[in-house]
Amino acid sequence: MNERVNRMAWLLAALLAWMWTWRHLSIEWRTNAQYEYGFGVPFLCLYMVWTRWRGPMGAGRGRGWMLVAAAGWLAFTLGELLRWHDPIWRFTAGLLAAGATLLSTASFFRLGGWPLLRREVFPLAFAWTAVPWPLPLELALTQNLLRFVTAFTTALLGVAGIPALQHGNAIELSNGILGIDDACSGIRSLQAALMATLFLGDYFRLSPWRRTGFVLGGAIISFAANCIRVLALALTFHGGGPATAIRYHDTVGTIATAVTFLAVFILAGVFRDRRSAGPVVSSPRHTNPGYGGIFACFAFMAIPLLTWSWFARVASATALAPERPQWTLNPSKLPPAWRSESVEPRPGERTGLQFSTWQGCRLQSPEGWSTQVIHLGWKPGESMPSLAFYHTPALCMPWVGWTEIGHPKKMTLPLRGGAVPFVAYHFTQDGVGLLVLQSLSSGGENGYHILDPEHLENRWHRLLTLWRAPLRQVNEELLIYLPALGDEDAQLRAAATAMDALLVDPPR
């Protein structure tokens, strides 16, 4: 009886660790369409673990499993601390997944020795397909794919006799400019195809060489389907204009995704080796896993409680968003001789940023210079995707062909008798200069504490603030885009003039 309880305790400890990790990851799966496929990974992973369970078992002897379990406990504890402190930092998800993986490794070894652990290595590795990639890697790959897809589509349009000119990640056509957002880069279909090919390769028990070819084939299929998708959007834009392209954007994307998965399933049948033998199955020989399972189970169950207790002492530092927004913009109240034009978000901005409110306008002053102001808001308690948290001009402007000059720096903008903190970014494109000002608000307060340029250059400084207080969620963002108007002081005066004309209420 004790042996059975201990075996169940080991399995329960590993399952609880993964369930808690998947619960945290579900925020990114829900708010970032790029990782929506993650909702299917837990079921596929558990299925693979179950199919491998019956087979030869060994004796998990030695003390190495204790070190693995201890490392898993430490990684999971640090991940849980960071979950309270900085929940949308992707390093947090990696630590939780690492802790769950290490605990599962120790559990499988204690329950079935090396034979069971070797069989369960692939499911443990497969579980990581649902973990968001490190943001620098994801952004670098996305931007490279965007540039390639844009150039490829522009070349195809030229071959078809349609005049097209590439501007960064945008295509200029005769009736306007088509912006290729990050959803059209192909990274979403590439990651989903990677998950699908890894699972199907294991399901059909492909040999290593066949499995490698299958994964590469799936990547090629996803890339080709995405190029066709962008070409279809460009042709739609050319034939019906921007409104038509926006109307069919999601439909074209859905069709491309469906075609990708259908082609992947067909490719699986091509690579399948029908002569492959099934897994060796025999009656498992159970070994006594000891009492470590009960300790591991209670230790991992205690981690969330302990971290909650730790941060309860500074819970007052986590302020909720005010009932009224920090900024209130109203273009209809502009002074005489000012002109305003509404700016609507692109589909990729809606999907990636998941904002609750959007205010965008393009202003033209009586002197003839123009500026663009974007105000974003997130409701209190709403989950924010990590891309929205790191949505700085330094990340998004290069996607549309702008090159950053120098490093971002802190500054203040005098508005209606107050000094509002901003971060300033300088860009250039085809000899044209642009200044972008960004201000973030958390709990009704403006400041640099969330998006400090020095803080961004070395994100490990965030670990140093772990013992002070949780980071407060961003609930408002203000962006001001200013063309080159001489020196920086002239641009800042122009920004203050524009905002004074646009603000209904001063920032509180």
| Structure confidence at residue 445 as a pLDDT band (50, 70, 90) | low
Q: Is residue 479 predicted with pLDDT exceeding 80?
A: yes
Kindly state the average pLDDT of the residues 59-67.
73
Section 133-140 average pLDDT: 79
Asked if residue 140 has pLDDT above 80, the reply is no
- The answer on pLDDT for 474 being more than 60 is yes
Tell whether 187 is covered by a domain: yes
56-60, 256-260, 370-374: range with lowest mean pLDDT: 56-60
**Model pLDDT, residue 99:** 92
CA distance 173 to 154: 10
Indicate whether 371 pLDDT > 70.
Answer: yes
Q: Cα 429 from chain centroid?
A: 27
The 10s digit of each residue's pLDDT in 321-331 is 445 667 777 77
* pLDDT tens digits, one per residue of 233-281: 888 887 777 777 777 777 777 787 788 888 888 888 888 766 554 444 4
CA angle 66, 69, 74 (to 5 degrees): 125
Grade residue 317 by pLDDT with cuts at 50, 70 and 90: very low
Say if residue 497 is in the same domain as residue 482.
yes
Same domain, 309 and 380: no
Distance CA 123, CA 43 (A): 11
**Structure token pair of residue 412:** 């203040």
Residue 282 is assigned to a structural domain of this protein: no
| Mean pLDDT, rounded, of the chain | 75
Same domain, 99 and 143: no
Q: What is the pLDDT of residue 390?
A: 63
* Pair (28, 53) in one structural domain: yes
Structure tokens at 208: 């290593």
Task: State the burial class of residue 425 (Cβ atoms within 10 Å of its Cβ: 0-12, 13-18, 19+).
Answer: buried
Please state which of the ranges 101-110, 330-339, 382-391, 496-505 shows the lowest mean pLDDT.
382-391
Q: Assess if residue 122 is contained within a domain.
A: yes
Quote the pLDDT of residue 452.
Answer: 47
Long-range Cβ pairs for the range 319-325 (8 Å, 24+):
319/442, 319/443, 319/444, 319/445, 319/472, 320/380, 320/381, 320/443, 321/378, 321/379, 321/380, 321/443, 321/444, 321/473, 321/475, 321/476, 322/443, 322/444, 322/508, 325/357, 325/377, 325/476
| CA 387 vs CA 35, 121, 134, 223: distances in Å | 12, 31, 11, 22
- Rounded distance between C-alpha atoms, residue 359 and residue 373, angstroms: 8
Residue 280 lies in a domain: no
CA distances from 485 to 242, 367, 481 (A): 30, 12, 12
In the chain, the number of structural domains is: 3
- Rounded Cα–Cα distance for residues 331 and 323 (Å): 22
The confidence score (pLDDT) of residue 483 equals 78
Among 32-41, 253-262, 442-451, which stretch is predicted with the lowest mean pLDDT? Answer: 442-451
Window from 23-27, 250-254, 462-466 with minimum mean pLDDT: 462-466
Residues 29 and 89 grouped into a single domain = yes
The mean pLDDT of 149-156, rounded to a whole number, is: 84
Same domain, 127 and 176: no
With respect to residue 278, please indicate whether it lies within any of the assigned structural domains. no
> Are 393 and 430 part of one and the same domain?
yes
Question: Does 281 map to a domain?
Answer: no
Percentage of residues of the chain with pLDDT beyond 70: 72
Residue 61 lies in a domain: yes
Predicted model pTM:
0.71
Task: Tell me the residue range of the domain where 443 lies.
Answer: 321-505
- Domain match, 426 and 400 both: yes
Sign of the Cα torsion 239, 241, 247, 253 reads positive
Name the domain boundary from 271, 305, 340.
271
Report pLDDT for 22. Answer: 92
* Structure confidence at residue 318 (pLDDT): 44
State the burial class of residue 1 (Cβ atoms within 10 Å of its Cβ: 0-12, 13-18, 19+). exposed
Q: Give the best-scoring range by mean pLDDT among 169-173, 330-334, 396-400, 404-408.
A: 404-408
Tokens of residue 474, six digits: 């961003």
Q: Rounded to 5 degrees, what are φ and ψ at 234?
A: -65, -40
Q: Is the pLDDT of residue 101 over 90?
A: yes
- The residue among 26 and 280 whose pLDDT is bigger is 26
Can you give the pLDDT at residue 380? Answer: 65
H or E segment and range at residue 276 = none
Handedness of CA 60, 64, 69, 75 (dihedral sign): negative
CA 418/CA 101 separation, integer angstroms? 51
Please report whether residue 219 resides in a domain: yes
Do both 355 and 499 map to the same domain? yes
Calculate mean pLDDT across residues 302-311: 58
Q: State yes or no: pLDDT of 44 exceeds 80.
A: yes
178: DSSP letter: E
Q: Is pLDDT above 80 for 469?
A: no
pLDDT value at 454 more than 70:
no
Same domain, yes or no: 174 and 309: no
Domain check: are 223 and 371 in the same one? no
Cα end-to-end span (Å), the chain: 65
CA 384 to chain centre: 10
Both tokens of 155, joined, read 């070349």
In this structure, the answer to whether residues 200 and 347 fall within a common structural domain is: no
pLDDT-derived band at 18, boundaries 50, 70, 90: very high
CA gap 135, 11 in Å, rounded: 32
140 three-class SS: helix
- Cα–Cα distance, 60 to 65 (Å, whole number): 8
